[in-house]
């Protein structure tokens, strides 16, 4: 039997010949083979009784799958703005030069390929890179890059590289009820069993807990809708895709608080009547998989998963982990379900919502990692206790992934209602110009707004908190985000596919000094268009950074209009300072645009 046939057979056997596990099967075959040849895809199609076009479509969708040979060492530099601020672009150029390979193509001898990927979720310890979609190297510097080049040339297996390079720290800087109060193993399940399914739901409703994945939907309501929806089975899904650049709190929750996450999922299962749970772990967090599988096994041995949990006849529940393959859009819950079913991660038309027809067409509750941790606490402490923390509309605490220009990046947990300025003080940020809250899809706050509060009713967030001091060019920040959205568009609907690309081109044109005011007007029009016409939240949020930075940091854009302003004798900084004095506003570029 050939090597590739063995790899295919073993991956199929490992996944029970289940076509819904196609993404996992492709991952496993590629991990052995290095890439996915047409003959491998054809063999998989035959064995799984799927069309070849379908299997090829799935393999072609995910960025971590390769349908052409790639380097035996496949190196991906995290291209988040915070990695860039820490020098990732120069380090990548250095590695490319040392290994005589460009960014993108594979070296002629097939040894190595180097490219960029979206955020790896290691912004508090970047610059970071991924090797062979499995290993992460943190805290890159010139010495590490030089050594990596040597190890690759000497063909040293990645598993023999210095182990300290792979160290990922859980930098917990401020802990509150989620990160600070230990949750005894099994205590949330015991509390839920004591309360019963309805009593458990009642507590979650009373807590007014809202989802931590971004949209802030009421968790108790979601679980109630799911429980009440008819179906032959109900499913609990944990969204551990965490693809929003600048967010890494779920990584820490999974690495240090995985029992709490699984406890929360088990409580949800009792409340909605589910027997199966699935965790969708982003491909970039593949390095967490073995530890998570060990914890699941421990929980089975402790009767916290499996049949008759904690001796309660009829309460049967178990959890499977599925690993993604590098597609940010799969964080969107319906795309995530498609991916769980072994398909391309294209968002579904909603309604029906997942609570009615989710995984395999059955009622499914999809919640964020942090939401499950919070739910476990709610069941132990009671809904009223949780509702007393935070604000009336945003109860409990929120964990922030703080990165960028500050002395102490890492996780900070605060009650909702905390001022942005307080977080900046605590993380040691100085001379801060802007904070991007909630990642590129979120909101960019200028210094005038640091008195605002983190809460669904003021500044909502999914968890990213990226700090930019006054040395940073906010136009470049927005341009990096424009690259991100264009790169991550799933290309299903035309407004997003074309619109994100047009935005990117205009931004690049401005960056090259070839832009005019007309380009800024066009960017505004594209923002309106994308906001109104795209199929899912990725497209509609893609111009948020653009809109915020154009309105709040207009001078950063004005500086790009070299052809207009940099005529002989024009002194932009002098003009801006006059404008600032006259208007009393930091964003005085708007004044320059329309002088009285």
Residues contributing to the site for ligand FMN (CB under 6 A) = 211-215, 217, 239, 241-244, 329, 331-333, 366-368, 371, 536-538
- 420 contacts ligand SF4 (rule: CB under 6 A): no
* Residue 496 binding result from ligand FMN, ligand SF4, none, given CB thresholds of 5 to 8 Å by partner type: ligand SF4
Measured from the CB atom, the residue of 211 and 515 that comes closer to ligand FMN is 211
- 8 contacts ligand SF4 (rule: CB under 6 A): no
> Which of 191, 319, 411, 490 is the binder for ligand SF4 (CB under 6 A)?
490
Q: What residue has token string 């009285």?
A: 596
* Residue 211 binding result from ligand FMN, ligand SF4, none, given CB thresholds of 5 to 8 Å by partner type: ligand FMN
- 493 contacts ligand SF4 (rule: CB under 6 A): yes
The burial of 531, by beta-carbon neighbours within 10 Å (0-12 exposed, 13-18 middle, 19 or more buried), is given as middle
The burial of 448, by beta-carbon neighbours within 10 Å (0-12 exposed, 13-18 middle, 19 or more buried), is given as exposed
The burial of 228, by beta-carbon neighbours within 10 Å (0-12 exposed, 13-18 middle, 19 or more buried), is given as exposed
For the CA atoms of 130, 135, 141, 143, what is the dihedral angle to 10 degrees? -120
CA distance 418 to 453: 5
Both structure tokens of 182? 């230990």
Q: How far is the CB of 401 from ligand FMN (least distance, A)?
A: 12
Q: What residue has token string 């979206």?
A: 118
* Binding span for ligand SF4 by CB under 6 A among 83-91, 260-268, 410-418, 528-536: 528-536
DSSP state of 212: S
Query: How would you classify the pairing of strands 364-368 and 235-240?
Result: parallel
> Which of 123, 496, 504, 556 is the binder for ligand SF4 (CB under 6 A)?
496
- 325 contacts ligand SF4 (rule: CB under 6 A): no
* Binding span for ligand SF4 by CB under 6 A among 90-98, 288-296, 416-424, 490-498: 490-498
Laid out side by side, the sheet with 318-323 consists of 318-323, 276-281, 235-240, 364-368
Measured from the CB atom, the residue of 91 and 366 that comes closer to ligand SF4 is 366
Q: How far is the CB of 242 from ligand FMN (least distance, A)?
A: 5
Q: How far is the CB of 213 from ligand FMN (least distance, A)?
A: 3
Cβ-contact 269, 364 below 8 angstroms: no
* Residue 217 binding result from ligand FMN, ligand SF4, none, given CB thresholds of 5 to 8 Å by partner type: ligand FMN
Q: CA angle at residue 128 from 100 to 338, to 5 degrees?
A: 105
Q: What sign has the CA pseudo-torsion 308, 310, 315, 317? A: negative
Measured from the CB atom, the residue of 368 and 461 that comes closer to ligand FMN is 368
* Residue 490 binding result from ligand SF4, ligand FMN, none, given CB thresholds of 5 to 8 Å by partner type: ligand SF4
* Residue 242 binding result from ligand SF4, ligand FMN, none, given CB thresholds of 5 to 8 Å by partner type: ligand FMN
Measured from the CB atom, the residue of 267 and 543 that comes closer to ligand SF4 is 543
In 3D, which of 211, 350, 344, 333 has the Cα closest to residue 268?
Answer: 211
Measured from the CB atom, the residue of 324 and 515 that comes closer to ligand FMN is 324
Q: Binding residues for ligand SF4, how many (CB under 6 A)?
A: 14
Q: How far is the CB of 217 from ligand FMN (least distance, A)?
A: 5
* Residue 249 binding result from ligand SF4, ligand FMN, none, given CB thresholds of 5 to 8 Å by partner type: none
Cα 510 from chain centre: 28
Q: What sign has the CA pseudo-torsion 173, 179, 181, 183? A: negative
* Residue 92 binding result from ligand SF4, ligand FMN, none, given CB thresholds of 5 to 8 Å by partner type: none
Q: What residue has token string 């930075």?
A: 549
The burial of 141, by beta-carbon neighbours within 10 Å (0-12 exposed, 13-18 middle, 19 or more buried), is given as exposed
Dump the DSSP string for 345-382.
-PPPPSSSPTTTS-GGGS-EEEEEHHHHHHHHHHHHH-
Residue 419 pairs in a beta bridge with 453
Query: How would you classify the pairing of strands 129-131 and 135-137?
Result: antiparallel
* Residue 548 binding result from ligand SF4, ligand FMN, none, given CB thresholds of 5 to 8 Å by partner type: none
Measured from the CB atom, the residue of 113 and 334 that comes closer to ligand SF4 is 334
Contact partners, residue 93, CB within 8 Å, separation at least 6: none
| E-strand stretches of 177-315 | 235-240, 276-281
Q: What residue has token string 């109104």?
A: 532
> Which of 19, 127, 220, 347 is the binder for ligand SF4 (CB under 6 A)?
347
Cβ-contact 435, 453 below 8 angstroms: no
- 243 contacts ligand SF4 (rule: CB under 6 A): no
Q: How far is the CB of 464 from ligand FMN (least distance, A)?
A: 11
* Residue 366 binding result from ligand SF4, ligand FMN, none, given CB thresholds of 5 to 8 Å by partner type: ligand FMN
* Residue 539 binding result from ligand SF4, ligand FMN, none, given CB thresholds of 5 to 8 Å by partner type: ligand SF4
Measured from the CB atom, the residue of 48 and 225 that comes closer to ligand FMN is 225
Measured from the CB atom, the residue of 204 and 327 that comes closer to ligand SF4 is 327
> Which of 538, 546, 550, 556 is the binder for ligand SF4 (CB under 6 A)?
538
Q: How far is the CB of 22 from ligand SF4 (least distance, A)?
A: 20
> Which of 295, 445, 536, 541 is the binder for ligand SF4 (CB under 6 A)?
536
**What residues line the site for ligand SF4 (CB under 6 A)?**
329, 347, 489-493, 496-497, 534-536, 538-539
């Amino acid at each position: 039997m050939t090597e590739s046939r063995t790899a295919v057979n073993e991956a199929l056997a490992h996944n029970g010949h289940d076509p819904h596990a196609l993404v996992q099967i492709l991952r496993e075959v590629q991990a052995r083979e290095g890439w996915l040849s047409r003959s491998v895809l054809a063999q998989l199609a035959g064995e799984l009784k799927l069309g070849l076009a379908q299997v090829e479509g799935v393999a072609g969708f995910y960025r971590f799958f390769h349908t052409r040979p790639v380097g035996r060492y496949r190196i991906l530099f995290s291209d988040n703005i915070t990695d860039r601020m820490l020098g990732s672009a120069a380090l990548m150029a250095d590695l490319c030069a040392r290994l005589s390979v460009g960014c993108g193509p594979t070296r002629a001898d097939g040894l190595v390929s180097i490219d960029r990927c979206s955020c790896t979720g290691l912004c508090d310890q970047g610059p970071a890179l991924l090797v062979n979609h499995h290993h992460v190297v943190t805290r890159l510097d010139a010495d590490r890059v030089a050594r990596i080049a040597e190890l690759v040339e000497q063909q040293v297996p990645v598993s023999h590289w210095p182990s300290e390079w792979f160290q990922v720290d859980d930098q917990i800087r401020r802990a509150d009820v989620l990160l600070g109060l230990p949750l005894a193993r099994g205590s949330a399940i015991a509390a839920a069993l004591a309360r019963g399914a309805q009593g458990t739901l009642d507590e979650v409703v009373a807590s007014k807990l809202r989802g931590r994945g971004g949209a802030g939907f009421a968790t108790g309501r979601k679980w109630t809708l799911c429980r009440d929806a008819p179906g032959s089975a109900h499913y609990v899904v944990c969204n551990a895709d965490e693809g929003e650049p600048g967010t890494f709190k779920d990584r820490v929750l999974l690495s240090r608080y995985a029992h709490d996450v699984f406890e929360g999922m088990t409580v949800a299962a009792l409340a909605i009547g589910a027997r199966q749970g699935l965790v969708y772990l982003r491909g970039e967090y593949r390095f967490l998989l073995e530890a998570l599988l060990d914890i699941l096994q421990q929980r089975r041995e402790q009767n916290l998963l499996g049949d008759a949990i904690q001796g309660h006849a009829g309460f049967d529940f178990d959890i499977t982990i599925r690993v993604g393959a590098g597609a940010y859009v799969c964080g969107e819950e319906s795309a995530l379900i498609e991916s769980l079913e072994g398909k391309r991660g294209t968002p579904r038309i909603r309604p029906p919502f997942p609570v009615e027809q989710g995984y395999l067409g059955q009622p499914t509750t999809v919640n964020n990692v942090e939401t499950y941790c919070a739910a476990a606490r709610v069941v132990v402490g009671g809904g009223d206790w949780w509702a007393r923390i935070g604000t009336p509309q945003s109860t409990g605490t929120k964990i922030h992934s703080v990165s960028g220009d500050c002395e102490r990046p890492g996780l900070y947990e605060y009650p909702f209602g905390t001022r942005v300025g307080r977080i900046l003080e605590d993380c040691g940020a100085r001379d801060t110009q802007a904070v991007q809250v909630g990642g590129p899809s979120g909101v960019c706050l200028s210094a005038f707004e640091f008195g605002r509060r983190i809460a669904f009713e003021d500044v909502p967030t999914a968890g990213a908190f990226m700090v930019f001091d006054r040395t940073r060019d906010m136009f470049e920040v927005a341009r990096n985000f424009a690259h991100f959205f264009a790169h991550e568009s799933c290309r299903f609907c035309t407004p997003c596919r074309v619109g994100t690309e047009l935005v990117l081109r205009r931004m690049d044109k401005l960056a090259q000094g070839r832009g005019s005011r007309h380009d800024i007007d066009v960017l505004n029009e594209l923002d309106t268009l994308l906001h109104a016409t795209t199929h899912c939240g990725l497209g509609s949020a893609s111009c948020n950074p653009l809109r915020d930075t154009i309105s709040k940091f207009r001078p950063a854009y004005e500086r790009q209009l070299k052809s207009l302003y940099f005529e002989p004798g024009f002194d932009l900084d002098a003009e801006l300072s006059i404008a600032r004095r006259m208007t009393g506003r930091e964003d005085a570029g708007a004044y320059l645009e329309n002088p009285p």
